[in-house]
Amino acid sequence: MVLSTDSQISDAGFPASRGLMAEAMRAHDWERTALGPPSGWPVALKVAVNIMLDSPESMFIAWGPGLTFLCNDAFQPLLRPRRKPPLGQPLRELWFDSWGQIEPIVDKALAGIGSRFEDLPITLTRPGGEERTWWTFSYSPVRDETGAVVAMMGVANETTTRVLGERRHAFVIGLQDRLRDLTERSAIAAASAEMLGVYLGAGRAGLGEVDPSGEFFTVAHDWTDGRMSTLTGRWRLNDFSTEVMTDCRAGRTVRIDDVIADKRINGAHTAYEAAGNVRACIAVPLLKNGRFLAAFYADQMEPRLWTDDDEAIVREVAERTWAAMERAHTDLALAESERRYRALFNAMDEGFCIIEFIDGPHGPLSDYVHIEANPAYAVHAGITNVVGQKVRAMVGAEAQGWIDLYASVLHTGRPIRFERELEATGRWLELAAFRVEPPERNQVAVLFQDLTARKRAETALRELNETLEARVSERSAERDRLWRLSEDMLARADYMGMMSAVSPAWTRSLGWTATELLSRPYATFMHSQDAAPTLAAIERMRETAEPTRFENRIATRDGSWKPIEWTVSPEPDGINFIAVGRDLSATKAREAEMRRLEEALRQSQKMEAVGQLTGGLAHDFNNLLTGISGSLELVQARVLQGRYADVDRYVLAAQSASKRAASLTHRLLAFSRRQTLDPRTININALIAGMEELIRRTIGPSIAMETVSGAGIWSIHVDPNQLENALLNLAINARDAMPEGGKLTIETANRWLDERAARERDLPAGQYVSMCVSDNGVGMTPEVVAKAFDPFFTTKPIGLGTGLGLSMIYGFARQSGGQARIYSELGKGTMVCIYMPRHLGDADSASIEPDAAQLARSQSGETVLIIDDEPLVRMLVVDTLEELGYAAIEAADGAAGLKVLESDTHIDLLVTDVGLPNGMNGRQVADAARQLRPGLKVLFITGFAENAVLNHGHLEHGMHVVTKPFEIADLSRKIRSIILDN
């Protein structure tokens, strides 16, 4: 730093700055110092002092051969208690206790060489107690107009927030790594407690779980530093202060800096002494559905000022630990459920298997492979070792009949029950087949039992029918035996609502005696919601004389309900019918358990995605906000210093960061399908042709580009700006995948997707237009393809990609009624296709707004009404309008704006924010305005999140939208184009 001595500074009122140090300098007796009275100070020193005192940075000056110390207010906290007042002392005496470290730095500065030291730890005394902080220091030589070094200047910047953030981030990553492979709740709690205690430098840390009674908490495992005793055991909550526990039960974090001084303890000091002489503690409660379940805590034997950072890290550990423990509990429950399923699976009397469809479309090539079978399969079917075997290979020529039956179940989703002879083994089987959901699994479950004995008995009965009367009694006995032994509930009933005979299986399954069953109308045993449909099905059977099937719920004698599947067949007399019922309780229970487990898995995956999304969002936004706030602070500092040369650079930096933040928000909302769209009917080939030159410049000369435009391409109705962004993003991704050069192909085509093709793409069947961007670059693995659309997932190095490009494309496609798909092979390249529904209409002839330079200023002073609750936004819009020659009227909310609209004042354009206070949003104001003034032009200003208010981006004629944050030039162009558009 070179200080000029040309200017003269009056001694009167020196220094001219305000502040504690300025007052101290004016009152100080300088004749006792090496500098002498200020009247004799060099002008360069006075200039340096004024600069230092006016600076918001922490600064000091060591002047002259004696290195006399002077500092500003911001540097005061770094001095800590000194033996003497610091002002005017020689630097060597002031920092006597660390002069050995400082002297080499001073010597370098006096020799004209600056120094810089980053992230040095310093303990400061601040309100509430001592606090550990981190600082970055720079030491620079100060020269006079001759170039001679006359002093040293030091500048300090506190980096505590960044250092703590980096430490916290590293700690959280380490915690995740350590907890990832732990499967026991106790091990998870112990590992977390140890890491937290070491990180905080606490004496003890652990997790206490609250009993169901809510009166006690139990610590199973904790960590100590060796000085404090363990807290393991069972403790009464209110012994540690009712007021403190009230906060915990309400979910509020408890921070006690000193047990003795804290008024909330209210005489509960004995409990804290018994818990290991606790003097300071912090506890983060964990609640679920409003109930206090547990708390993660850290204790010390000495008073401690707990910081917000301490609380944040304890909360982070608490939530991650509890989530890991819940995961472990869920995994254990899943394992136990699988064990029970396997036990039931292996113990079933009926044969059971799951078969999976393979080998292409239904027809001569289709087949099913056995992927699971229980031991009873071989007993009933007479075939062993079926897992892995295909149906055609197992049963030969009769396979097609079985395959057709299973295909109907797989295609319709309707279960079937039937009897069929397995010719390969000569056995008759009774089978029930149902689809294993979801349909994409292409699996069918089959439950069956051997009916050979029953069929032989039935054959014998038929033969008995044809024999002499002497065998009638034998035949009846056989029939009675089947009646008695059948596990199905058999009944003979009439259409009047009564049963005349029931098999013993009724009593075994439902508990009712035969007398009870025959003495009451059968409808009284049905669930109230099932009675009417059941009776209607029986009536239809009576009319058609055809057997029917249905399910309903039948009451048991103990008051519960059982699901029963019925097969009902009419008798020739037209009065009676036969009913066969099978108890589905076990089947329903298995289906319910499978649905519960699938839902639990979906919830776990959803929470993991949310954690990734919020973590990535916070990281990127913190970076951008740091750039904005830092640039603005430097602008303010340069203006105060009168240094205007660098102001433009900092303003441009802040604007750049703002645009990146807006782009990040836009991409996030595109992924979540909440962005505000401006769809138009366009021809995609024309859009690509308009972007071709831009794409060629973007990908560079080492990559060849080819466009293959489909003939007679259909129109689509999408936001053209979003589609252009999507195409440019895909081109950039393709370029990055071909670092050594290659070929980029953009291809469009009309697609008619049938049911199968549409289902594969998760779309309704119909007509679509596809845009595919392909490259012959490095390609992706299947694992990367599976995650490519996830927000914040990227394979690019840190700082070269946010991971939102493909997720934005996916969100835009889905919001536009279409789909996005990736096809890639490692080492061969990638193709990304966007499918957009066909729009029956001609493309808009003019889709680009006129350039601002082509729009004339207002010639007749048109009037614009601006409604916005933010004064700064109103000021910007009003200044823009007045600069264009328009008259502007302001209103702070919808009610005030409506008063203007209800008056006789002429209004040419309404500009309104979407989110307005006091009961009316911008869309409601616009609708009311058009009731009063039909055809009034409207420009909405939106921050994206009000997308639903704007009818998801679909606006009426004459309504337009601009999104925040916007550039003034864009707003000016938009306003002028709307007003000039007749």
Range in 157-166, 675-684, 837-846, 932-941 the model is least confident about: 837-846
Residue 309 pLDDT > 80: yes
What is the rounded distance in angstroms from the CA atom of residue 864 to the CA atom of residue 881?
Answer: 8
User: From residue 961, how far is each of 527, 846, 974, 975 by CA, in Å?
Assistant: 56, 17, 9, 10
The 3-state secondary structure of 919-951, one letter per residue:
CCCHHHHHHHHHHHCCCCEEEEEECCCCCCCCC
CB 76 within 8 A of CB 67: no
Confidence of residue 919 (pLDDT cuts 50, 70, 90): confident
Crossing angle of the two packed helices 185-200 and 160-180, in degrees rounded to 10: 160
Residue listed under structure tokens 């779309």? 763
Mean pLDDT of the region 110-127: 80
* Percentage, residues of the chain above pLDDT 70: 84
Its sign, for the CA torsion 156, 162, 168, 172, is negative
Residue 897 pLDDT > 70: yes
State the pLDDT at residue 910: 92
User: From residue 498, how far is each of 519, 520, 639 by CA, in Å?
Assistant: 8, 7, 98
Confidence of residue 787 (pLDDT cuts 50, 70, 90): confident
Range in 275-284, 705-714, 809-818 the model is least confident about: 809-818
Confidence of residue 563 (pLDDT cuts 50, 70, 90): very high
Q: Which of 398, 388, 554, 578 is nearest to 479 (CA)?
A: 578
Confidence of residue 256 (pLDDT cuts 50, 70, 90): very high
CB 560 within 8 A of CB 582: no
Q: What is the DSSP string of 189-224?
A: HHHHHHHHHHHHT-SEEEEEEEPTTSSEEEEEEEEE
Q: What is the pLDDT of residues 344-394, one digit of tens each?
A: 777 778 889 998 998 655 555 688 998 889 898 888 888 888 888 988 888
What is the rounded distance in angstroms from the CA atom of residue 168 to the CA atom of residue 170?
Answer: 5
What is the rounded distance in angstroms from the CA atom of residue 519 to the CA atom of residue 704?
Answer: 87
80/18: higher pLDDT: 18
Confidence of residue 162 (pLDDT cuts 50, 70, 90): confident
CB 568 within 8 A of CB 551: no
What is the rounded distance in angstroms from the CA atom of residue 296 to the CA atom of residue 531?
Answer: 54
State the pLDDT at residue 82: 52
Q: Which two tokens stand for residue 548?
A: 């029917």
Residue 122 pLDDT > 50: yes
Residue 971 pLDDT > 70: yes
Q: How far is CA 683 from the centre of its chain?
A: 35
By residue count, the chain amounts to 982
Q: Which of 678, 714, 953 is nearest to 839 (CA)?
A: 714
Q: What is the pLDDT of residues 77-102, one digit of tens each?
A: 777 655 456 888 898 888 887 788 88
State the pLDDT at residue 4: 47
What is the rounded distance in angstroms from the CA atom of residue 900 to the CA atom of residue 904?
Answer: 8
Average model confidence (pLDDT) across the chain: 82
Q: Which of 12, 307, 41, 279 is nearest to 150 (CA)?
A: 41
Residue listed under structure tokens 């009034």? 936
742/659: higher pLDDT: 742
Q: Exposed, middle or buried by CB within 10 Å (0-12, 13-18, 19+), for 10?
A: exposed
In the DSSP assignment, the letter for residue 860 is S
The Cβ of residue 171 has, within 10 Å, a number of other Cβ atoms equal to: 18
The 10 Å CB-count burial string (b at 16+, else e) for 535-561 is: eebbeebeeeeeebebbbbbbeeeeee
End-to-end CA distance of the chain: 62
Q: Exposed, middle or buried by CB within 10 Å (0-12, 13-18, 19+), for 964?
A: middle
What is the rounded distance in angstroms from the CA atom of residue 636 to the CA atom of residue 643?
Answer: 10
915/492: higher pLDDT: 492
CB 171 within 8 A of CB 183: no
State the pLDDT at residue 174: 80
The 3-state secondary structure of 580-615, one letter per residue:
EEEECHHHHHHHHHHHHHHHHHHHHHHHHHHHHHHH
Judge if pTM exceeds 0.75.
Answer: no
Task: Give CA torsion, residues 594, 597, 598, 600, to 10 deg.
Answer: 160
232, containing H or E segment: none
Q: Which of 872, 796, 808 is nearest to 663 (CA)?
A: 808
CB 224 within 8 A of CB 197: yes
Mean pLDDT of the region 622-631: 66
CB 547 within 8 A of CB 569: yes
750, containing H or E segment: strand 742-753
Residue 756 pLDDT > 90: no
Note the helical H segments in 773-828: 782-787, 805-815
Q: What is the DSSP string of 415-477?
A: -EEEEEEETTTTEEEEEEEEEESSGGG-EEEEEEEE-HHHHHHHHHHHHHHHS-GGGHHHHHH
What is the rounded distance in angstroms from the CA atom of residue 262 to the CA atom of residue 306?
Answer: 13
Range in 1-10, 150-159, 161-170, 858-867 the model is least confident about: 1-10
Q: What is the pLDDT of residues 465-519, one digit of tens each?
A: 666 555 555 666 666 777 888 888 899 999 999 999 999 989 998 999 999 999 9
What is the rounded distance in angstroms from the CA atom of residue 314 to the CA atom of residue 207?
Answer: 11
State the pLDDT at residue 512: 93
Mean pLDDT of the region 569-583: 91
What is the rounded distance in angstroms from the CA atom of residue 974 to the CA atom of residue 955?
Answer: 16
Residue 668 pLDDT > 90: no
540, containing H or E segment: helix 528-544
Its sign, for the CA torsion 332, 336, 341, 345, is positive
State the pLDDT at residue 409: 92
Q: What is the DSSP string of 234-273?
A: EEEGGGG-HHHHHHHHTT--EEES-TTT-GGGTTTHHHHH
State the pLDDT at residue 853: 41
